[in-house]
Amino acid sequence: MTDLTHPAVDRVAEALRAEGVEPRIRWFDDAVTTAQLAADALGIEVGQIANSLVFDLDGEPILVLTSGAHRVDTEWLGRELGGTISRASKETVKAATGQVIGGVAPLGHPTPVRTFVDVELAGYPEIWAAAGHAKTVFPTTFEELVRITGGTPRAVEPPAA
């Protein structure tokens, strides 16, 4: 379905091209708003899905790209980043990314968003991220995701004891 288009998806494709990446955006018939739905639709492990989660860090929107197999420990990560993290409102998500919850891509935002990339994603040779709409994803690698987002690789939950 390469003839489909959406303004947010077009911005993601443009941002990918600007980073030297040929956009390979895949459209689904139905929305894949969770990591599990996306993984099932792609026939891959849920850990290969790079969830784009927007949080508020002391008034600043931040983007955390986390493996679908993990949860962000907001209390721990906030301490690690020197502040307090809470889930961003849908209005904050839209303002920061130009996209809506369920389809937030790691790039293609109106202005750069401080980004952190879950190091657990490095364990997969290919990962998939939303492409600006709940019916879209694109493939990438951990290294490429860090590069194209200008993100900081880091753990999003404390190390196992």
pLDDT of residue 67: 97
pLDDT attached to residue 159:
86
- Yes or no: say if 63 and 52 are a contact pair by the CB < 8 Å rule: yes
Q: Is the pLDDT of residue 63 over 50?
A: yes
**CA pair distance 51, 40, nearest whole angstrom:** 14
Q: Taking residues 17-21, what's their average pLDDT?
A: 97
3-class DSSP string for the chain: CCCCCCHHHHHHHHHHHHCCCCCCCEECCCCCCCHHHHHHHHCCCHHHEEEEEEEEECCEEEEEEEECCCCCCHHHHHHHCCCCEEECCHHHHHHHHCCCCCCCCCCCCCCCCEEEEEHHHHHCCCEEEECCCCCEEEEECHHHHHHHHCCEEECCCCCCC
Q: What's the mean pLDDT in 40-67?
A: 97
Over residues 4-26, the mean pLDDT reads 94
Nearest 5°: CA angle at 57, between 55 and 63? 40
pLDDT, tens digit (0-9, with 9 covering 90-100), for 123-156 = 999 999 999 999 999 999 999 999 999 999 999 9
pLDDT value for 48: 98
Indicate if the pLDDT at residue 33 is higher than 90. Answer: no
State the pLDDT at residue 5: 81
Task: Report whether 158 contacts 73 (CB < 8 A).
Answer: yes
On the question of pLDDT at 1 being above 60, the answer is no
| pTM of the predicted structure, to 2 decimals | 0.93
Mean pLDDT of 81-88: 96
Contacts of residue 104, defined as CB under 8 A and 6 or more positions apart, other chains included, come to 52, 53, 54, 63, 93, 97, 130, 132
**Is residue 107 a contact partner of residue 12, using CB atoms and an 8 Å limit?**
yes
Domains plus CATH for the chain? 7-154 (3.90.960.10)
Q: Is a pLDDT exceeding 80 seen at residue 3?
A: no
- pLDDT value, residue 161: 60
pLDDT (tens digit per residue) in 90-106? 999 999 999 999 899 99
> Is the pLDDT at 13 greater than 60, yes or no?
yes
Q: What angle do CA 141, 47, 145 make, to 5 degrees?
A: 25
